[in-house]
């Protein structure tokens, strides 16, 4: 129970972090946060009973520097919402594909990298989408927003009460 994930929001309701329930209860106990969504159940101490939080909001503003997002596999999959950009399948087994292959002068940039399922990536091989007879569902662009925080995929499926606090 103390290891369940808790979404931590800044004072302005911006997602900051995911922590464990134990850390969230400590923040609540010291008055540094408030509960916005209850989890499932309670945690008992020797003298008290605490609600198990699912979403908390800090009582003070955390200023953090804004960094440009790095081009990583996880960030590309997140940007493409774990969907193959050629066939539209939403699966976990994805690969990165360079729209214009690197050996043909394509660069490793946000505008040239997409998520692709293994069969589509094999079919496209070292060709451009036009040469392979394939069409991109969405043109690749840098991710929108300047937030450097993302929610791992498995939390999006299991933590439905977090949805209203996350940018779409």
pLDDT digits (tens, 9 = 90+) for 53-63: 999 999 999 88
The CATH fold assigned to 73-132 is: DNA Binding (I), subunit A (1.10.30)
Mean pLDDT of the chain: 88
Q: What residue ranges do the domains of the chain occupy?
A: 5-65, 73-132
pLDDT in tens, 85-134: 999 999 889 999 999 999 999 999 999 999 999 999 999 999 999 999 99
Which of 108, 99, 104, 164 is closest to 138 using CA atoms? 99
Tell the residue number behind the tokens 């990165």, with chain if given: 96
pLDDT given at position 165: 81
Rounded mean pLDDT, 51-78: 88
* Predicted model pTM: 0.57
- CA angle at residue 122 from 101 to 135, to 5 degrees? 65
Q: Give SS3 for 96.
A: strand
Give the pLDDT band of residue 168 (cuts 50, 70, 90): low
Beta strands in the chain (DSSP E): 5-9, 15-20, 33-44, 49-58, 94-98, 113-117
């Amino acid at each position: 129970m103390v290891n369940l994930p808790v979404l931590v929001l800044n004072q302005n309701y911006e997602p900051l972090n995911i922590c464990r329930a134990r850390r969230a209860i400590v923040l609540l106990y010291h008055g540094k946060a408030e509960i916005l969504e209850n989890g499932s159940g309670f945690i008992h101490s020797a003298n008290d009973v605490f609600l198990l939080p699912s979403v908390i909001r800090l009582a003070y503003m955390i200023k953090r520097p804004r960094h440009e997002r790095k081009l990583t596999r996880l960030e590309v999959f997140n940007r493409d919402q774990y969907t193959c950009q050629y066939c539209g399948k939403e699966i976990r087994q994805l690969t990165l594909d360079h729209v214009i292959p690197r050996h043909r002068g394509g660069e490793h940039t946000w505008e040239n990298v997409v998520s692709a399922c293994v069969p589509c990536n094999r079919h496209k091989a070292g060709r451009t989408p036009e040469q392979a007879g394939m069409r991109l569902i969405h043109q690749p662009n840098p991710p929108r927003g300047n937030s450097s925080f993302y929610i791992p995929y498995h939390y999006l499926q299991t933590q439905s009460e977090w949805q209203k606090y996350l940018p779409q």
